[in-house]
């Protein structure tokens, strides 16, 4: 599973956020609260959803981080009151494709951080990690696909 290395331009996103840890995972709660509100966003760009994580420096699984459930918008005009604005800064990313059930994501995560990253010419950059949940994504389909974007910089 070799990634594509891509430069991402900044994106305007609208959605909801929640603070959580891997130990106290609230991902399902976050998406359940966002999806009914998605229809209120009138200026979307495409249909892809963005699951964004902003981890603290020297992160470990017990630490809290902020997770976002979002969709891209053309601008921040007329954002519904119960949703938040978020600007994804962009930059250099290693883009992996996770194939399979969402419950198997941990295997992809372990490959990226335990195998690929230590053997690559890159190191993690202190920016957002995110997944793009597009047309091929489904939480309970073994043929599901999602893009996994890892912020990197040269070592």
- Answer yes or no: are the C-beta atoms of 34 and 147 closer than 8 Å: no
Instruction: Count Cα neighbours of 36 within 13 Å in the Cβ-side half-sphere.
Output: 5
- The SS3 assignment for 129 reads strand
Q: What are the φ and ψ backbone dihedral angles of 109, each rounded to 5 degrees? A: -55, -45
Q: pTM of the predicted model, to two decimals?
A: 0.94
CB contact at 8 A, 93 and 151 = yes
Give me the residue spans of the domains in the chain.
Answer: 4-154
CATH architecture of 4-154: Alpha-Beta Barrel (3.20)
pLDDT, tens digit (0-9, with 9 covering 90-100), for 27-58: 999 999 999 999 999 999 999 999 999 998 88
83 against 62, higher pLDDT: 83
Phi, psi of 102 (to 5 degrees): -60, -30
Task: Work out the pLDDT band at 106, boundaries 50, 70, 90.
Answer: confident
If pLDDT is split at 50, 70 and 90, which confidence band does 102 have? confident
- Indicate whether 91 pLDDT > 90: yes
What's the pLDDT score for residue 44? 97
What is d(CA 62, CA 87) in angstroms, rounded to the nearest whole number? Answer: 26
Burial profile 33-53: b = 16 or more Cβ within 10 angstroms, e = fewer: ebeeebeebeeeeeebbbbbe
Helix (H) or strand (E) segment spanning residue 104: none
C-alpha 116/C-alpha 2 separation (Å) is: 8
């Amino acid at each position: 599973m070799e990634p594509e290395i891509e430069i991402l331009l900044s994106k305007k996103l609208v959605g909801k956020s929640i603070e959580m840890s891997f130990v106290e995972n609230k991902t399902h709660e976050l998406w359940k609260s966002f999806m009914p509100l998605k229809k209120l966003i009138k200026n979307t760009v495409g249909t892809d959803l963005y699951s964004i994580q902003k981890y603290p420096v020297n992160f470990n699984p017990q630490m809290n981080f902020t997770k976002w459930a979002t969709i891209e918008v053309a601008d921040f005009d007329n954002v519904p009151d119960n949703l938040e604005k978020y600007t994804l800064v962009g930059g250099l990313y290693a883009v992996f494709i996770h194939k399979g059930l969402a419950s198997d994501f941990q295997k992809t995560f372990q490959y990226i951080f335990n195998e690929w990253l230590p053997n690559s010419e890159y190191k993690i950059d202190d920016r957002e990690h995110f997944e793009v949940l597009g047309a091929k994504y489904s939480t309970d389909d073994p043929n599901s696909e999602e893009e996994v974007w890892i912020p990197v910089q040269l070592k």
